[in-house]
Amino acid sequence: MGAAMRRIHVGNALSAFGLGFTVPYLYVYVAQVRGLGAMTAGLVLAVFAVAALIVLPFAGRAIVRRGPLPVLLTALVTAAVGALSLGLASNATAVLLSAAALGAGQAVMQPALATMIVDCSSAETRSRAFATQFFLQNLGLGVGGLIGGHLVDATRASSFTLLFAIEAAMFLLLVVVMVTVRMPRSPRIEDAPAAAASAKGSWKQLLGNRAMVQLCVLGFVLFFACYGQFESGLSAYGVEAAGISTSALGTALAANTAMIVVAQFLVLRFVERRRRSRMIAVVGLIWAVAWIAAGYAGLGHGSQEMATAAFVSTYALFGLGEAMLSPTVAPLVADLAPRGMAGQYNSAFALVKQLALAVGPAVGGPMGASLHAPYIVTFLLFSLGITVLALRLGRRLTEAQDQPWRARSRVVTRGGAAEPVPAEA
């Protein structure tokens, strides 16, 4: 790992730490500590998603034109201002504006950091780089949430002000770290004719890439059926249908993080040597088993201990699938992007993720709380749909995109130098 990549990974960990540090406590802070009520607290959470949906379409173009580092620095300063303002805000207008700044900054960090990883990695190291990113993100979220939970006191607004001030300081520290990164020169619109032609109608060009469109559809289903259910539909289902206690729910979330931390690098070597599309298809089957376990927890007739064990297993199986996806999906987005357009493609995929995370809780929450059997059947079918969509995507990918290790092996055997394969349009 080069010096630039090490700093980028530090940036990923710090940004995730800041997110885990405050987001779990936003509702309590706005509704109770500031006394603004449940409706305003709900609007704050919605503002995060809306801000991301607004800025992400422009973030990709900015990354392509200016490079990922300037865009990342702008996003970090915006997020720092938003975090500090949120800690000081005392009325609904100030809280909503601060949340919009924080949400917009955090949303842009993701594609900017992903593009920096692409620029600082090769085809040989990219899967491992994204696996490390995912590992550090989950570690940062977990550590941030743990420390933040010990600092806050719902009876003292000053404890939350301190929390948001520390988050702002983390973002500014990340600015200092990122300023020292020396990025390799990557193509820009001004000096890459192919990229220039794409940038004039970048969204039209992206939508013309059928493989990327299929990957975006697949990505929406992935995030909708898994991440979009963690803290909404699945938790509501566990409490209402399976009688899961809040402590058991916390254990299930911890099992998910623990599985990712333990399994990430154990599965990496296995995943690296397999077709990416087939690995995503396997994840769909693993998640189908997870939903069957959840169905047993809430709809079976076993003891409460068995129901709790099945429910915790559901979250652990989701974690195993996530560990398999991290070295697969993000590198595939990068390999589908034409030269100089990684920022645009990363932003588009981040936009799809945000849409899924906005729609997922809205659909899954009410279903999980009241329509228990239809909820399980619906998301079991979505998981099987992941397998079908992944296999269909595999038929559209080139060998270098679906099996990059095999394409490199053939080049080495012939004694040549590997050349990047352009994305299929």
Angle between helices 157-179 and 3-22 (to 10 degrees): 170
- Whether the Cβ atoms of residue 48 and residue 103 lie closer than 8 Å to each other: yes
- Average pLDDT (228-255) is 79
- Average pLDDT (378-405) is 89
Highest mean pLDDT out of 69-78, 154-163, 220-229: 69-78
Q: Which two tokens stand for residue 150?
A: 């010990």
What percent of the chain clears pLDDT 70, i.e. is strictly above it?
89
Rounded distance between C-alpha atoms, residue 364 and residue 227, angstroms: 11
Q: What is the pLDDT of residue 90?
A: 84
- Average pLDDT (400-425) is 54
- The answer, yes or no, to whether residue 418 has pLDDT greater than 80, is no
Q: What is the pLDDT of residue 385?
A: 94
Cα distances (Å, whole numbers) of residue 380 to 226, 243, 311, 363:
11, 21, 15, 15
Residue whose pair of structure tokens reads 């399994």 in the numeric block: 263
Residue whose pair of structure tokens reads 């948001």 in the numeric block: 164
Average pLDDT of the chain, as a whole number: 82
Rounded distance between C-alpha atoms, residue 228 and residue 222, angstroms: 9
Backbone angles phi, psi at 301, to 5 degrees: -120, 30
- Average pLDDT (202-208) is 78
Select from 272, 386, 283 the least CA-distant residue to 332: 272
Q: How confident is the model at residue 231 (pLDDT cuts 50, 70, 90)?
A: low
Q: What is the pLDDT of residue 416?
A: 44
Rounded distance between C-alpha atoms, residue 302 and residue 127, angstroms: 41
Rounded distance between C-alpha atoms, residue 164 and residue 258, angstroms: 27
Select from 262, 379, 361, 369 the least CA-distant residue to 314: 379
Q: 262 or 42: whose pLDDT is higher?
A: 262
pLDDT tens-digit profile of 276-322? 999 999 999 999 999 999 999 888 877 888 988 999 999 999 999 99
Select from 93, 116, 89 the least CA-distant residue to 12: 116
Cα distances (Å, whole numbers) of residue 421 to 64, 185, 195, 343:
19, 19, 15, 18
Q: What is the pLDDT of residue 380?
A: 93
User: HEC states along the chain?
Assistant: CCHHHHHHHHHHHHHHHHHHHHHHHHHHHHHHHCCCHHHHHHHHHHHHHHHHHHHHHHHHHHHHHHCHHHHHHHHHHHHHHHHHHHHHCCCHHHHHHHHHHHHHHHHHHHHHHHHHHHHHCCCCCHHHHHHHHHHHHHHHHHHHHHHHHHHCCCCCHHHHHHHHHHHHHHHHHHHHHHHCCCCCCCCCCCCCHHHHHHHHCHHHHHHCCHHHHHHHHHHHHHHHHCHHHCCCHHHHHHHHCCCCCHHHHHHHHHHHHHHHHHHHHHHHHHHHCCCHHHHHHHHHHHHHHHHHHHHHHHHCCCCHHHHHHHHHHHHHHHHHHHHHHCCCHHHHHHHHCCCCCHHHHHHHHHHHHHHHHHHHHHHHHHHHHHCHHHHHHHHHHHHHHHHHHHHHHHCCCCHHHHCHHHHHHHHHHHCCCCCCCCCCC
- Average pLDDT (252-264) is 84
Q: Is 0.85 surpassed by the pTM of this model?
A: no
- Average pLDDT (20-35) is 78
Specify burial of residue 383 (Cβ count, 10 A radius: 0-12, 13-18, 19+): buried
Q: What is the pLDDT of residue 82?
A: 93
| CB half-sphere exposure, 309, CA atoms < 13 A | 6
- C-alpha torsion 380→386→391→392, nearest 10: 110
pLDDT tens-digit profile of 315-370? 999 999 999 998 889 888 888 888 778 888 888 888 898 888 888 877 887 888 88
Q: How confident is the model at residue 415 (pLDDT cuts 50, 70, 90)?
A: very low
Q: How confident is the model at residue 184 (pLDDT cuts 50, 70, 90)?
A: low
Angle between helices 233-240 and 372-394 (to 10 degrees): 150
Rounded distance between C-alpha atoms, residue 360 and residue 191, angstroms: 41
Residue whose pair of structure tokens reads 């503002």 in the numeric block: 47
Q: How confident is the model at residue 413 (pLDDT cuts 50, 70, 90)?
A: very low
Backbone Cα Rg of the chain: 21
